[in-house]
Amino acid sequence: MESYPDFGTTFTHYSRNATEVVSFEMHASVLYLPVVSSAVPFRAAPASVRCVHNDVAVPDFSAYRRHDVQDANASSQGSSDSRKGFSYLMTAATGVATAYVAKNVVTQFISSLSASADVLALSKIEIKLSDIPEGKNMAFKWRGKPLFVRHRTQAEISQEAEVDVSQLRDPQHDLDRVQKPEWVILVGVCTHLGCVPIANAGDYGGYYCPCHGSHYDASGRIRKGPAPLNLEVPVYQFVGDDTVVVG
């Protein structure tokens, strides 16, 4: 007669659940029953060991139990709501935190596909105003286009202010096109077909586009010629006394 080792059940693992669950698994060696000669009086050591389902004992999981269910002689119903509530609260809070982190990670990765810092840096230009003397028009390369920054004289300012707006093709008052009257900042692209006007040229003391003969005044407004609109005024901001940031 073969002799089997003296254990019937193998506890392979027990796992803990988030709520009140405890569990364990056992292999089915308990169901392969070796034969025991039951007629032998049990004072003699049996040749093999029988294992029946009655002998399976659920292990004691007290070390894992929550406080409310430690007492084996108290109903677990009363604390059921509070235990579930705690678990769901923890789940919800973790869910919120995870969503926050996930959103941040995802946006970081996706925003890395957008324009890089050096490209973004090109979108703005900082201009030192003290470099531009009065009456002078300086041109800068900005976003691939010429940017005209003109330091106007008082005569030019008052001359532009006096112009009758209703006579203009694209009516705009000078003061609507500037933040500080002595500085006019324009995109140097002719609104007709895109050539670059020449500064301090033309019949109106402003700009003259040589391509088709559009005349702009010192405020960049179209006065004569084929262009339909005034020169574009970009977004700009004066930072401090001496600097303007365009873009």
Partner 1 sequence: MLIQRDPHSPGPVPAIFQDPHSRDPISRTPISRDPHFEDFHFQDPHPPDPPVSIPIPDPPVPVPIPDPPLPIPPVPIPIPEIPLSRSPSSLFLQAALSNLTRKRGAASYAHTLQNIPETQVTTLENGLRVASEESHQPTCTVGVFIEAGSRYEDAKTNGAGFFVEHMAFKGTKKRPGSAFEKEVESLGAHLNGYTSREQTAFYIKAFSKDMPKVVELLSDLVQNCALEDSQIEKERGIILQELKETDSNLTDVTFDYLHATAYQGTALAHTVEGTTENIKKLTRADLASYVDIHFKAPRMVLAAAGGISHRELVDAAKQHFTGASFEYKAKGSVPDLPRCRFTGSEIRARDDALPLAHIALAVEGPGWADPDNVVLNVANAIIGRYDRTFGGGKNQSSRLAALAAEHKLCHSFEPFNTSYSDTGLFGFHFVSDPLSIDDMMFCAQGEWMRLCTSATESEVTRAKNYLRNAMVAQLDGTTRVCENIGSHLLHYGRRIPLEEWDARISAVDAKMVRDVCSKYIYDKCPAIAAVGPIEQLLDYNRIRSSMYWIRL
Tell the smallest beta-carbon distance from residue 228 to partner 1 (Å): 60
212 counts as catalytic: yes
Distance CA 104, CA 224 (A): 55
Binding to partner 1 by CB under 8 A, coded x per residue (else -) over 31-50, reads: x-x--x-xx-xx-------x
**Which residues, listed in sequence order, are joined to residue 148 by a DSSP beta bridge?**
139, 186
Q: Is 7 in the site for partner 1 (CB under 8 A)?
A: no
Establish if 26 lies at the interface with partner 1 (CB under 8 A): yes
CA distance 105 to 152: 50
Between the alpha carbon of residue 62 and those of residues 12, 57, 59, 70, 196, the distances in Å are 18, 14, 9, 6, 85
* Residue 92 binds partner 1, judged by CB under 8 A: no
Nearest to 224 by CA among 242, 243, 205, 239: 205
Please state whether 173 falls in left (phi above 0), alpha (psi between -120 and 50) or beta: beta
Tell me which of 1, 3, 10, 56 binds partner 1, using CB under 8 A.
Answer: 56
The order of strands in the sheet holding 145-151 is 137-142, 145-151, 183-187
**DSSP assignment, residue 87?**
H
- The phi and psi torsions of 171 (rounded to 5 degrees) equal -70, 120
Report the residue number, 10 or 123, with the smaller CB distance to partner 1.
Answer: 10
Size of the site for partner 1 (CB under 8 A): 42
Q: How far is the CB of 67 from partner 1 (least distance, A)?
A: 13
CB of 15 to partner 1, least distance (A): 8
CA-closest candidate to residue 135, choices 179, 200, 187: 200
Find the part of the chain contacting partner 1 (CB under 8 A) among 28-36, 114-122, 147-155, 220-228: 28-36
Looking at this protein, which amino acid is placed at residue 66? R
- Residue closer to partner 1 (CB basis): 57 or 119: 57
CB nearer partner 1, residue 12 or residue 130: 12
Residue 243 structure tokens: 């600097």
Taking the least distance from each CB to partner 1, the nearer of 52 and 155 is: 52
Interface pick for partner 1 out of 1, 3, 10, 21 (rule CB under 8 A): 21
Q: d(Cα 185, Cα 151) in Å, to the nearest integer?
A: 9
> Given 13, 192, 212, 215, which residue is catalytic?
212
Report the interface residues with partner 1, using CB under 8 A.
17-28, 30-31, 33, 36, 38-39, 41-42, 50-58, 60-62, 69, 71-77, 80, 84
Q: Which residues are catalytic?
A: 212
